[in-house]
């Protein structure tokens, strides 16, 4: 009989260094709601808990399905996948995934009671795609559609949904603001795919890095960071009613420079540090943007 995994093992499976992708859009959406005089503490906390649980559920599902499909092997250069490492049985991981996503659904019911059927639909789609990202007959990550999924759900949906459940309306600015964290999260995924390029080729996981090559992935990373850190704040600074202090977000380019350099020069396991760096960039951006939006 397999022993019960430790809390440390579950934390490892949750991949905490990437969870800023779930936290940051909620920070941005809540800060914009605050500026509009519509901040709702309970809804903000529920949105935060739901977003983090869905991301953890997606990470658990990835751990499970990549093992089942044979993608995770002993040659893996990324952070430890607990199912592949034998720390958790496939059944335990499958059950944990179901539990975490069920908790996210329960929280979503409260949010839906505020925001109505659109929020319920968004919640159900987010939970479904957390599984379909690597599971099901047509897993998004294996078809090269993971980048688009991350941009939409960890960006536009997360920020606008957070804003809507508090303000109960959705201005264009909240939609546009969601593009930036979506791009940062796509950059996190791009580093992940660049690191796993050789292994994914062998196992048939046709990410964009596999389809178009390592150079493409490096350009994609730089484009995501540049567009998120420069283009989005600039548009929002000029969009009526103007928020010129949104340009405070440009300061994220300073800590971004080492990450941009490392993506060009490093490969394999060395890119794990860049993945963590990019998660921190997303957090820094969200804090700078939120401060600037409220000045």
Going from N- to C-terminal start, the domains of the chain cover 7-294
Is the pLDDT at 203 greater than 90, yes or no?
A: no
pLDDT, one tens digit per residue, over 98-130 is: 999 999 999 999 999 999 999 999 999 999 999
What is the predicted pLDDT for the residue at 1? 52
Q: How confident is the model at residue 241 (pLDDT cuts 50, 70, 90)?
A: confident
Is the pLDDT at 204 greater than 90, yes or no?
A: no
Is the pLDDT at 136 greater than 90, yes or no?
A: no
Whole-number Cα distances in Å, 9 to 5, 72, 192: 6, 17, 21
Highest mean pLDDT among 2-6, 23-27, 264-268: 23-27
Q: pTM above the 0.85 mark?
A: yes
What is the predicted pLDDT for the residue at 2? 64
φ, ψ of residue 204 to 5 degrees: the values are 80, 20
Is the pLDDT at 55 greater than 90, yes or no?
A: yes
What is the predicted pLDDT for the residue at 81? 86
Q: How confident is the model at residue 267 (pLDDT cuts 50, 70, 90)?
A: confident
Q: Mean pLDDT, the chain, as a whole number?
A: 93
């Amino acid at each position: 009989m397999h022993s019960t995994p430790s809390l440390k093992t579950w934390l490892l499976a949750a991949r905490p260094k990437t969870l800023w992708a779930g936290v940051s859009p909620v920070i941005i959406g809540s800060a914009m709601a605050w500026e509009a005089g519509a901040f709702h503490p309970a809804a903000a906390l529920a949105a935060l808990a739901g977003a983090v649980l869905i991301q953890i559920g997606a990470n658990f599902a990835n751990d499970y399905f990549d093992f089942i499909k044979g993608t995770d092997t002993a040659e893996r250069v990324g952070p430890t996948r607990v199912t592949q490492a034998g720390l958790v049985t496939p059944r335990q991981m499958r059950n944990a995934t179901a539990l975490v996503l069920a908790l996210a659904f329960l929280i979503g019911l409260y949010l839906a009671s505020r925001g109505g059927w659109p929020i319920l639909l968004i919640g159900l789609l987010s939970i479904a795609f957390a599984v379909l990202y690597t599971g099901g007959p047509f897993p998004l990550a294996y078809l090269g559609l993971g980048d688009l999924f991350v941009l939409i759900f960890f960006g536009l949906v997360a920020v606008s949904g957070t804003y809507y459940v508090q303000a109960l309306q959705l201005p264009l600015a909240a939609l546009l603001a969601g593009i930036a964290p979506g791009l940062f999260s796509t950059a996190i995924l791009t580093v992940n795919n660049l690191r796993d390029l050789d292994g994914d080729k062998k196992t048939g996981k046709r990410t964009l890095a596999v389809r178009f090559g390592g150079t493409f992935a490096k350009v994609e990373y730089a484009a995501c960071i540049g567009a998120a850190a420069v283009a989005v704040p600039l548009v929002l600074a000029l969009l009526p009613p103007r928020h010129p202090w949104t340009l405070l977000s440009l300061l994220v380019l300073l800590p971004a420079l080492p990450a941009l350099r490392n993506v060009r020069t490093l490969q394999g396991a060395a890119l794990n540090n860049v993945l963590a760096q990019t998660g921190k960039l997303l957090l820094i951006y969200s804090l700078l943007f939120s401060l600037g939006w409220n000045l």
